Structures are given as C-alpha cells and as structure tokens.
Amino acid sequence: MLTQRPRGTADLLPEQSKSWQLLEKIASQVFQTYNYAEVRTPIFEHTELFQRGVGETTDIVEKEMYTFTDRGGRSVTLRPEGTAGVVRAYVENKLYGQPGISKLYYIGPMFRYEKPQKGRLRQLHQYGCEVFGTDSPALDAEVIALNMDILTRAGASDLTVELNSVGCPICRPKHKEAMIAALTPYREELCKDCQDRLERNPLRIFDCKNKSCHMVLEKAGAPTILDSLCDDCAEHFDDVKRHLDVLLVPYKINEMLVRGLDYYTRTAWEVTAQDFGTVSGGGRYNSLVADVGGPETPGIGFAGGVERAILLLEEQGKRSEDKAGMDVYVALADETAESYATKLVQSLRERGIQSDRDYLKRSLKAQFKAADRARAKFVAVAGEDEVNAGTVTLKNLASGEQETVPVEQMMEIVTAQMTEPRGQKGV
C-alpha cells in the first residue's frame, strides 16, 4: 500500500517550487531594502514559550498546536507562528544590548492543527518581520508599508489595509468591564469558547469564527476597543494613520479587528484583497519581550502566508510562468565525446552558465528534443571532430543559427545571451 503524505501537507513539485522561490526572493529583497536582517529560529520550541507568548486564550494555543513530550520528558511544540521564537532569540542572545533598534525578518514553515482548506494547510509557510526597540508610530506605518510592498512587487493588486488599535493594559480593563456588562445577558447565546472568553478575555470574542457570536455582538451593542482607548493610545493611532497617509498606503478602519493573538497592543492590521480575504497581518506588541523574560522593549511585526500569497496571485491571474530554461545543453554526437562533454559542462557551470548534458546515450535527434523540453537557449554538439579541434558546434534554438566555434568563443557567445534574468516579475 502506498504511503501518502499527512493530511494538511503538500508536495511542491519543481514547477510549483519556482513560484515559491520567486516570492521568497522578492520578500528577502524587499526586507533587505528596508534594512532588515534575516534570523533563523528552531522549528520547535519549549511549549511554555507559546503559552506565555501567543496567549492561552487563543485558538492557536487551545486547539491548534502540535505539542509532544520528547524523550527527556520535556514538552515541546512545533512552532505555530514566528513571532514568539524571534522574541525568544532576541532575549536569549541579548540583542537588546546592541545600540539602536533591531530589524529582523524570517521565512519558513509553521505548523497548526486545523481543518485543511485551500490556501490553509497544517504545515504552512510564512514570511515575516519583527522590529524591537521603539514604539514610534512612524515605524508602525513603515512595517505596514513593507507588508504591502512585498505583495505589490510580487504582482498582487486590489489590496487594502484593515486597521485598528487594540489598546494597552490601561485601556483593556475598562473595555473588558464594558464587554462583560453588554454580553452577560446574552451569554447563553454565545458559543462555548466565547462563554469562556467572556470572563477571561472578552476581546477575543471579536475574533470568533462563528457568525452567531458576531450576531450576538451586534445585538448586544458590544463596545469596540476604540471606544475605550486612553489618550496615549488614541494619539498613537492618529499618528499611525497620518504616516500611512504620507506613505500613500490605502487603509480602512475595522473596529472589529483584533487578530488572533493575545500579545498585540495598540496597532493591529490585516492586508486583504478584494473577493479573496486576508493575505497577511500583524501588529504591535509592547509587552511581549518582557513576558518572555527580557527587559521592557516595544516591538512590532507582521507575517504573511506564502500559500495564501501564491493562491491570491493565481486567482488574480498575476502568476507569470518562468519562461527561461537552461542556457546550454551539451549533446554528444558519438561516444568519443564522453569525457569532452563532461569537462565542457563543468567549465560552463564554473562560469555560472546553467547547463546539462545527455547521460542516456540517446540519438542526436532525441537529445535535441530533450534540449527543447528543457527550454535550452543553445545546444552545443560535440563529436570526434569537435574533440580533435577543441571546438563545439553551437546552435541557437531560437534563431536556428548554427556555427562551429572554439570552446572559448562559445563561452563568450553564451555569456552575451545571459543578460535576461531567469526569473520574471510577478510570481
């Protein structure tokens, strides 16, 4: 019986991998343009990191984590998101001791046990960033602009930032009291999870996926967090909007937006696409570094799903096929060219020229067909005559032109044709 891949995972075959590689390349380039440096954290962490960092009342911690006990009796969890691990690395490696702010980015797999659906898998992949060391509203706007920039450079369109403020420890108690007062008469109409959240963290009710709970929120006239912002949070939110206006980033206020993580304070946002839904999102977290064991340090970040971004680009018809193939296919006219072809291919590769050769002892006609399937620009034919003369017969598959030239001249001709980038704009 064939062993199949686990439910909620996917095989990325070569043609699909090209789209992923291009999106990851675009993301890395944009991060670096904004002066972010890459960080790579472990795939699994101690479970308590996510309990403390992500929040025990979140769906991620309550329902979706892949948690197990290792052979040493320690509880470890496959990372369900990237922020907590980056914060842990920031604290453990004492990056807070460096001058200025720390701007970090990451790209990699995350794991959540949830119902698999199109664009949402149990092994998902994210690109994201975290910034530590300032609570500047200008930086909030920069990170939101960066979030948008990656998607637009990848080719996405019709994007909007849905923006909210979720307050701070000063605002939250006031809002919690107002939520409890408004929703208690309707408690039995809430789902079981939201009944529990009502006492522990009623703000989470806004993030419930059940439509019936949102109907209760509307019927009860539940107050949004914007109704309870303290003066400092209100001023910060106004400044964020002002900087977004300067950056020409389109946004709309969504008072129901709270995101699915407990660590957010003040600014929270999601990037949505018309007729698609959420593509990425993030927020500020001014207490998370201290919660993980570090000094009081403000932070902000976002994460985007690679699967979601590629699905959006496909649905918008923005996925560009990679039309470029290899540069040179070396074809053997006879067995006397075996060693010559091996050396020739290696010389091409040492110069950064993408090349391959025949290993199946096929006819010359079959080798030309293989070169065509590989979308090669040139075929370099080597046989006994070429070996003796130190030449190749070079054919340009686009123009049909063919000439016999010394190997060094062949290198120059091929290199001159390599001005076109292998990848194309868009994904």
Q: Give the CA angle between residues 278, 252, 248 to the nearest 5°.
A: 100
Distance of CA 84 to the CA centre of its chain: 16
Inter-residue contact 144 to 161 (CB < 8 Å): yes
Measure the CA–CA gap between 314 and 60, rounded to whole angstroms.
28
Measure the CA–CA gap between 195 and 393, rounded to whole angstroms.
77
pLDDT of residue 206: 87
Coil, helix or strand at residue 280: strand
pLDDT of residue 52: 83
The runs of H, that is alpha helices, within 280-397 are 288-291, 306-315, 338-350, 364-373, 384-389
Strand partners, 405: 392
Inter-residue contact 62 to 107 (CB < 8 Å): no
Q: Which of 253, 192, 195 is nearest to 224 (CA)?
A: 253
Measure the CA–CA gap between 6 and 214, rounded to whole angstroms.
34
Distance of CA 40 to the CA centre of its chain: 13
Domains and CATH numbers, the chain: 14-170+230-315 (3.30.930.10), 328-416 (3.40.50.800)
Per-position pLDDT tens, the chain of length 427: 788 999 999 999 988 898 999 999 999 999 999 999 999 999 999 999 998 878 776 778 888 999 999 999 999 999 999 999 999 999 999 999 999 999 999 999 999 998 888 878 999 999 999 999 999 999 999 999 999 999 999 999 999 999 999 999 898 888 888 889 999 998 899 998 899 888 888 887 887 888 899 899 988 888 888 989 999 999 999 999 999 999 999 999 999 888 766 678 999 999 999 889 999 999 999 989 999 999 999 999 999 999 999 999 999 987 655 556 899 999 999 999 999 999 999 999 999 999 999 999 999 999 999 999 999 999 999 999 999 999 999 999 999 999 999 999 999 999 988 754 444 445 6
Structure tokens at 74: 């320690």
Strand partners, 163: 253, 269
Inter-residue contact 382 to 331 (CB < 8 Å): yes
pLDDT of residue 120: 85
pLDDT of residue 256: 86
Inter-residue contact 224 to 233 (CB < 8 Å): no
